[in-house]
Copies of this chain bind each other. A is one copy, B any other.
Amino acid sequence: MEKVRRMERVVALTKLLVDNPCHLFSLTQFSDMFGTAKSTLSEDMVTIRDGLGRCGFGTLETVAGAAGGVRFLPYRSGDGTNRLLTELATKLATPDRMIPGGFLYMLDILFTSSLMVQVGEIFMTKFHRKSPDYIMTVETKGIPLAFMTARAFNLPLVMVRRDAKVTEGSTVSINYVTGSSKRIQTMSLPKRAIRPGSKVLIIDDFMKAGGTARGMIDLAGEVGADVVGTGVLVATAEPQKKLVEDYLALLILHDMEEHTKTIDIRPAFTD
């Protein structure tokens, strides 16, 4: 009977931990919840860590001290990452995704939660050491991807608007020049969205010349925040020189040939 009860507790603890990535739980909290001694819970944590680790499902981190506890880090690397990037590249290379004007239809992929959960966890793994305080993106298509990254980090998402909304209170705006079409655009951010002095990670779905990312970096600077990294799902191979120097792309769009209907898109790296 005790064996069964322990199993059920481990199931419940696993659910709590993996449902709240990067959230620090104290063993006291678990002890109150399940009426179990902390020493027993420590054993449970070892079991959970080993169970997750054996399948490459991330890891548990123990934080020592009075304010300590345990948290789930949804690290993804190696084979799992490579498989996902290859799957995404294959899905995005089907000819019917080509839209007149040289655009690539990605909405269905960007709006599939099972894929975006995994992409968010890859970005979390890659940028974890930068310790951002916020995930920033620009409306609209990239929101689910950025939100899943925010979830993997247990951080708030901040959304930059192409225009200011009256429903969001006072805003900070900048003008910026789009990298590819050289038009002047505005982007804005509610003033209360970011604490000055914060570290920001930019996540977006697509980068061509990098003008939008450049604009977000400038806008973050306006509110006294510092951009510690930029991650995009797809970057184009051309122009090779982007307006941001340092970014991580997961996939590279090498070529799109409208006549022959061929799309050449490949993982940007092997993990």
Contacts and interface: CB of A to CB of B under 8 A. Distances in A.
Contacts of A192: 105
Nearest to A108: B156
Interface stretch (A80-88, A166-174, A239-247, A259-267): A166-174
A169 B139 CA distance: 19
Interface string A181-220: 0000000001011000000000000000000000000000
Oligomer copy total: 2
Contact of A47 (B4, B55, B101): B4
A57 B15 contact: yes
A51 interface: yes
Interface of A: 3-4, 6-12, 14-16, 18-20, 23, 47-48, 50-52, 54-55, 57, 99-101, 103-105, 107-108, 111-114, 116-117, 139-140, 143-144, 147-148, 150-151, 154, 156-159, 161, 166-169, 190, 192-193
Given A47-B7, A140-B139, A143-B143, A114 B23 contact: yes
22 contacts: A4-B50, A6-B7, A7-B7, A7-B47, A8-B54, A11-B51, A12-B55, A16-B57, A18-B18, A18-B19, A19-B117, A105-B192, A107-B159, A111-B147, A111-B150, A111-B156, A113-B148, A113-B150, A113-B151, A114-B154, A143-B143, A143-B147
Contact of A140 (B52, B103, B116, B143): B143
- Across the A-B interface, the 4 shortest Cβ-Cβ residue pairs: A11-B51, A8-B51, A113-B151, A111-B157
Nearest to A162: B140
Contacts of A108: 156, 193
A20 to B, nearest CB: 6
Contacts of A4: 47, 50
A51 B10 contact: yes
Contacts of A147: 111, 113, 116, 143-144, 147
